[in-house]
Structure 1
Amino acid sequence: MTPPTGARPALPLRQARIGDDWYDLEHAAKAVGNDRSTQIRQLIAWYLRQPGVELPERPPVKAWQAAAQAAAKERAKAGVWSVTEEGHTKQSKFRVSDDDWEALAQAARTMGLERAEVVRQLIAWFLRRRRALLPERPPLEAWFDTSASYDPQELTAGLQQHAREGTEAVALGLLTEHGHWLERIAVHHPQFVVTGQDAVMRLDWAALAKAYGRGDLAATPAQDAVLRIALSIQVPDAGVSLGSVLPALDRATTAAVLRAIAAAAGHPDAAPPT
């Protein structure tokens, strides 16, 4: 159950026939500080309408084109091609969580597409290919059962009613201040909310930690860091190496994390984030 304190959990490998764009994606993603898998996950998260997810930044072609062309020459010398001798495009491998990969299949199916085609279209748009357009996104209700979802504001208020003190209040306060995770749980992951006979709602922190440990909750580095820190405050043995996650945070989120840590430590001047 315990997530590792260093690197993020490894996500399952997926395969899709991308073609030559796969090679250029390596250099384009690197230009914005990502690897190919991270870039694909961000694009898929946008396509799935995950709360708070916006289209990722696209680097100008000139920022990565020279490196891509040099790499292409080296591949040609080595006889490495994206197409097999039989004329088939080779499978490219990248990492995406089980939940997002299955959700992509469902969402793409409502548009009459295979998920590999959606991935190819997203990559082509990211690379600024001529005439490349973003794939049309289906409405959430067309492929995702929202009947069990919560209103994010109502869920936050209900959770705060239960978690009024102690480490749970601190961990919940951090997630509340950051915003992303409670909205995402409300809409996409209501299974992590437990409602008692008294109608009081609370987070199932243990189940949330297990899902994180399995790699089911892929996110941006900053979102990942906030969740890991919140889990480390509330869940026994869910340790985190602060040195490995703090660099991903902006100034405001870093301040929220520091307040949460101080409050969890019982500092007399600290108060849980609200």
Structure 2
Amino acid sequence: MERSQSWTFLTFGRSGATVADGLLGPRRERDSDAWSGQRGQLQEVADTVDRRQIDVLLISIGGNDLGFSTTLEEMVLTGATVFSIGKQKSEVEFEEAIADRLKSLRANMLRMKADIEVTLKPLHVLLTEYPANPFGDSAGNAREGCEIFSTGANVSPALYDLLHIDKQEAARIERVGMRLNKTLREIAAEFGWGFVSGIAYAFEGHGYCTEKRYYVQARESLGIQGDTQGTLHPNIEGCKRIGERIALAVRNLYTDSVRPVDRTIRANRGTTR
């Protein structure tokens, strides 16, 4: 890939999207996509590019399919915990619920693959990894939440029960993040797609509660956009790290001299650092 080459980058991301509600079709909740004529993202891409060739289709999906609540509003209004499964569930029940959602994700992504091959026909498809440990400390170990997710949060007792993240839940979140990334990697290999790895590794030690965090905190979201919907999304530094991994993966598609280093986070922490 020559420096003199010109690339056009178009983004079609939508907050809270899942494969079924957001990519294949519109988000159904509260007519969220009325502005787009109730089109899913894939149809919006097709309508925008028309007959032009797509060199690389970049897809980041899966977290919301597992029920990861990305807004405080959802947690408060629906009584959901981070994965909308409930604090009262046992470990076995929790793992079974996540397994069912991963199975559903695979099925929906098969539908998405068929749609992409018929309507978009990109030269390459890249599926991205997720940061896996948002509540890890500076050493990457699970810790209790802070700020709005902490025991010291200035909220009512009812909200505390909904928002508080204890160490056990933080560890659950990390395990689910690792399982999601493993599933996405397997799907990419099965579909013949590329997989953007190294994102989880890049975020290790930069959790929501660390000094050098890569996540937007609730108070920062309020200051930036006037609501809490940016909470737990990557901040500027986090986006830079994700962008670096994506750029490396794209360059790898067009040159034989650049090979991204695969540093997948393993359960035995310390083997990849």
TM-score, normalised via structure 1 length: 0.25
* Higher normalized contact order (CA 8 Å, seq sep 6+, divided by chain length): 1
> Rg bigger for which structure?
1
**Structure with greater helix percent:** 1
